[in-house]
Amino acid sequence: MIKLILVPVGGSESDPVVFETARVVAQPFAAHLDFFHVRVGVGEAAEHTPYMEFARGEALRNTMNLLSEEARHRSVDGERHVRDFCDQWRIPIVDMPAPGATVSASYTEESGHAPRRLIAHARHSDLVVMARSTRANGLPHDLLESVLRQTGRPVLLTATGQPARLTGTMMVCWKDAPEPARALAAALPLLGQAERVVVVTVDEHGAAAAHGPEGVVRHLAWHGIRADALVVPASGRTTAEALESAAQGCGAGLLVMGCYGQGRAHEILFGSSTQAIIGKAELPIFLLH
């Protein structure tokens, strides 16, 4: 069951798709949307701003002033985005769980080390909904990887456009390993809402038949979830390319993938394939390390 969803607030153009994705997920479970904004300090933002090391004198002062002003705007805009969104969908703002099966929300802003504060909040949530990073925003470029690696919580990475729904076809990217198994277990509440589930294995070396997706299909059946098994030959393609083709072929609206990351967190499912899919696929992706 998903009851508490952490929704990071950027105060930027990515907020609408993140908010709407979180709302769509929350509806079937009457979950609480925990909107959370970290006001990034100027020094922290400067550390993650490209070419800052080359700024000197007046240019440095101007850049620092600009970063401070951007942080202020994100704070003001973020709170406004949350208030307008909750007004639009008539979502009540509450501090504690209230009786009744309805989506609720709260808003919190903190200052300080953004990744550390976000990770701490994520550990107290059932799911984190995040946007893909498209530009410098004062946060580390590997924030997603840090959240995945250090929280133990699943992340739903939003689509690049406004999601129509998350209840159509969901595709489980399967490999016989612990990480995909954990992702599958965490995604069960969402998979139970799908109209169709497809479990896909990419057969790279002719070994998929021994540990293919049929066992996953049987597992899901015990949860009342009907799924189809699909073994896709690599046929000279990378695993990422084969998965993207399978997702297009079955009309997937959501991908479920497990994450590796022993040393470098982006070395995720099927080696670097998840990183390639994150960079190219326009679908929401459910991830768990």
Report pLDDT digits (tens) over 30-65: 999 999 998 875 555 555 565 555 555 665 566 666
Q: Which of 235, 238, 167 is nearest to 206 (CA)?
A: 235
Q: Report pLDDT digits (tens) over 154-169.
A: 999 998 776 657 889 9
Q: Report pLDDT digits (tens) over 1-16.
A: 899 999 999 998 899 9
Q: Report pLDDT digits (tens) over 231-255.
A: 999 888 888 889 999 999 999 999 9
At residue 266, the pLDDT reads 42
- Tokens representing 95 are 């501090």
Mean pLDDT computed over 263-280: 57
Q: Which of 201, 163, 128 is nearest to 24 (CA)?
A: 163
The mean pLDDT value of the chain amounts to 84
Structural domains in the chain?
4-157 (3.40.50.620), 169-288 (3.40.50.620)
- Does 80 have pLDDT greater than 70? yes
Mean pLDDT computed over 98-102: 81
Rounded distance between C-alpha atoms, residue 197 and residue 261, angstroms: 26
pLDDT category at 189 given cuts 50, 70, 90 is: very high
Half-sphere exposure of 246 (CA within 13 A, CB side): 30
3-state DSSP of 39-101:
ECCHHHHHHCCCCHHHCCHHHHHHHHHHHHHHHHHHHHHHHHHHHHHHHHHCCCECCCCCCCC
Q: Report pLDDT digits (tens) over 208-232.
A: 555 679 999 999 999 999 999 999 9
pLDDT category at 100 given cuts 50, 70, 90 is: confident
pLDDT category at 269 given cuts 50, 70, 90 is: very low
At residue 144, the pLDDT reads 87
At residue 229, the pLDDT reads 96
